[in-house]
Amino acid sequence: MLTAASTQAADSLPLKAVNRANEVIDAALAAYGGAEAIANLNSVVRKSHFITWATNQSRSPGAPWDENETINFAAIDFENKTFVGKNEGTGGGFNFNGSQIIKGEEGWQLDFRGGSVTPLAQPDFDNTSGPFIRVTAPLLVKQLQDRRQTSHWLGEVEFNDRMHDVVTLVMEVGPALSLYFDQETHMLSRSERVLPPFGQVDYRFTDYQTIDGIPFSKTFKLYVNDQPNIFIDRHSTWVNQSVEQYTGLPEDLEVVETAPPQPNDIELQEVSVGVFLVGAGGTYAMFVEMDDHVVAVGGTAGIPDRIKALREVVKDEPIKFGVMTHHHNDHVLGVPAYQGEDATVLTVKENEAVMRAAATDADSLKLQFVEDKYVFDGGNRTLEIIDIGPTPHAEHLLVGWLPEKKYCSRQTIFPIRSMASCNQPNR
3-state secondary structure the chain: CHHHHHHHHHCCHHHHHHHHHHHHHHHHHHHCCCHHHHHCCCEEEEEEEEEEECCCCCCCCCCCCCEEEEEEEEEEECCCCEEEEEEEEEECCEEEEEEEEEECCEEEEEECCCCEEEECCCCCHHHHHHHHHHCCHHHHHHHHHHCHHHCCEEEEEEECCEEEEEEEECCCCCCCEEEEEECCCCCEEEEEEEECCCEEEEEEEEEEEEECCEEEEEEEEEEECCEEEEEEEEEEEEECCCCHHHCCCCCCCEECCCCCCCCCCCEEEEEECCEEEEEECCEEEEEEECCCCEEEECCCCCHHHHHHHHCCCCCCCCEEEEECCCCCHHHCCCHHHHHHCCCEEEECHHHHHHHHHHCCCCCCCCEEECCCEEEEECCCCEEEEEECCCCCCCCCCEEEEEHHHCECCCCCCHHHHCHHHCCCCCC
Question: Which residues, 6+ apart, have CB-to-CB distance to 290 below 8 Å?
Answer: 376, 378, 379, 381, 383
How far apart are alpha carbons 219 and 64 in whole angstroms? 23
d(CA 50, CA 39): 29
Q: Distance between CA atoms of 160 and 188, rounded to whole angstroms?
A: 13
Mean pLDDT per segment of 10 residues, for the chain of length 427 residues? 49 84 98 98 97 92 92 98 96 89 96 95 94 97 96 96 97 92 98 85 96 97 92 96 96 88 85 93 91 95 95 95 96 97 98 97 98 90 96 95 60 34 37
Confidence (pLDDT) at 427: 39
Distances (CA, A) of 176 to 80, 202, 229: 25, 13, 20
Q: How far apart are CA 178 and CA 167, in angstroms?
A: 6
Q: What is the dihedral of CA 314, 320, 325, 330, to 10 degrees?
A: 80
Nearest to 374 by CA among 396, 356, 350, 348: 348
Diameter over CA atoms, the chain: 84
Between CA 307 and CA 305 the distance in angstroms is 5
Strand order in the sheet with 398-401: 373-377, 382-387, 398-401
pLDDT at 405: 60
Instruction: Please report, as a single letter, which amino acid is at residue 6.
Output: S
Measuring CA to CA, which residue among 199, 184, 190, 202 is closest to residue 159? 190
Distance CA 253, CA 117 (A): 6
Q: CA 110 to CA 28: how far, in whole Å?
A: 37
**Is the preceding omega at residue 425 within 30 degrees of 0, hence cis?**
no
CA distances 43 to 48, 124, 142, Å, are: 16, 17, 12
pTM above 0.85, yes or no: no
The pLDDT, as a whole number, for residue 371 is 97
Q: What is the pLDDT of residue 299?
A: 95
* Spatial distance between the Cα atoms of 395 and 397, rounded to a whole number of angstroms: 7
Nearest Cα to 159, choosing from 203, 213, 93, 99? 203
What per-residue confidence (pLDDT) applies to 10? Answer: 53
User: For residue 14, which phi and psi values (nearest 5 degrees)?
Assistant: -60, -40
- Domains detected in the chain: 12-255 (2.50.20.10), 267-421 (3.60.15.10)
Residue type, 30: A
What pLDDT was estimated at residue 416? 35
